[in-house]
């Protein structure tokens, strides 16, 4: 069996240019990214999960359950626990990306994650009965999680009540984020919004 992702894309040639994410973006050669949750109970086990599988895991959600961009986004359970179904969605999205960009879609995904991962966030603290926000640095692991969450959330919103399929919406968001498109990429917008609010909380 080929070690190329989906039998087509070589992960060995993918480059992670952000030094802080190198240890957390797993690019071990694998044909089908499915670890069956072997790392779930291990501390920092996510580091050993392939980046494409982590993207798939983020897609297996039941919607936001709250208003996002003015709409309540629901997947009605159609993706929850459906690893094989989500794998087909990601494979189709990668095929669309490869056709449009003529690049390795795994590299495009890594670029998208690097461009949409916030470096600074804010949190609420209470001191003397008074609550206020303070800026905090974001760990590399959380940066990666936030980027993947926003990319997949953008894909779900893009396919919600829309003729566009989930694979097409996912491919479009990954491509926009990889270019760092602040105007059209939801994930990049969320990164800028988070960092802006953190700056105001300094």
For the stretch 110-169, pLDDT in tens is 999 999 999 888 888 888 888 888 888 888 889 999 999 999 988 888 887 678 888 999
**Domains of the chain by residue range:** 19-200
Distance, CA of 75 to CA of 60 (rounded, Å): 9
Mean residue pLDDT across the chain: 84
Average pLDDT over residues 83-106: 91
pLDDT, position 115: 93
Q: What confidence tens digit (pLDDT) does each residue in 75-94 have?
A: 555 566 678 888 899 999 99
| Structural tokens at position 126 | 């209470």
Task: Assess whether pLDDT exceeds 50 at residue 1.
Answer: no
Taking the chain, what is the end-to-end CA distance rounded to the nearest angstrom? 53
> For residue 160, what are the CA distances in angstroms to 9, 124, 170?
29, 32, 12
Average pLDDT over residues 15-38: 84
Q: Where are the beta strands (DSSP E) in 12-113?
A: 67-68, 71-72
pLDDT, position 174: 94
pLDDT category of residue 170 using cuts at 50, 70 and 90: very high
- Top pLDDT among 44 and 4 is at 4
pLDDT, position 168: 93
pLDDT category of residue 96 using cuts at 50, 70 and 90: very high
Average pLDDT over residues 4-30: 87
Tell the CATH superfamily of the 19-200 domain.
Ribosomal protein S7/S5 (1.10.455.10)
Q: For 98-109, b where at least 16 C-beta lie within 10 A, e where not — what string? A: beebeebbbbbb
pLDDT, position 43: 74
Distance, CA of 95 to CA of 114 (rounded, Å): 21
Q: What are the residues whose beta carbons fall under 8 Å from the beta carbon of 176, sequence distance 6 or more? A: 112, 184, 185, 188
pLDDT > 90 in the chain, percent? 28
pLDDT, position 79: 66
pLDDT, position 57: 87
């Amino acid at each position: 069996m080929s070690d190329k992702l989906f039998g087509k894309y070589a992960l060995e040639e993918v480059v992670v240019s952000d030094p802080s994410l190198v240890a957390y973006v797993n690019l071990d050669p694998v044909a089908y990214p499915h670890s069956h949750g072997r790392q779930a109970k291990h501390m920092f086990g996510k580091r050993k999960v392939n980046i494409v599988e982590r993207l798939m895991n983020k897609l297996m959600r039941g919607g936001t359950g709250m208003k996002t961009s003015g709409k309540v986004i629901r997947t009605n359970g159609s993706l929850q626990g459906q690893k094989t179904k989500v794998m087909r969605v990601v494979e189709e999205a990668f095929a669309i990306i490869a056709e449009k960009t003529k690049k390795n879609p795994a590299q495009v995904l890594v670029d998208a994650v690097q461009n949409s991962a916030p470096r600074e966030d804010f949190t609420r603290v209470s001191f003397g009965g008074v609550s206020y926000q303070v800026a905090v640095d974001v760990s590399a692991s959380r940066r990666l999680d936030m980027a993947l969450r926003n990319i997949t959330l953008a894909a779900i919103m893009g396919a919600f009540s829309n003729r566009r399929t989930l694979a097409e919406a996912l491919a479009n968001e990954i491509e926009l984020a990889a270019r760092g498109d602040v105007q059209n990429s939801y994930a990049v917008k969320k990164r800028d919004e988070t960092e802006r609010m953190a700056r105001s909380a300094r």
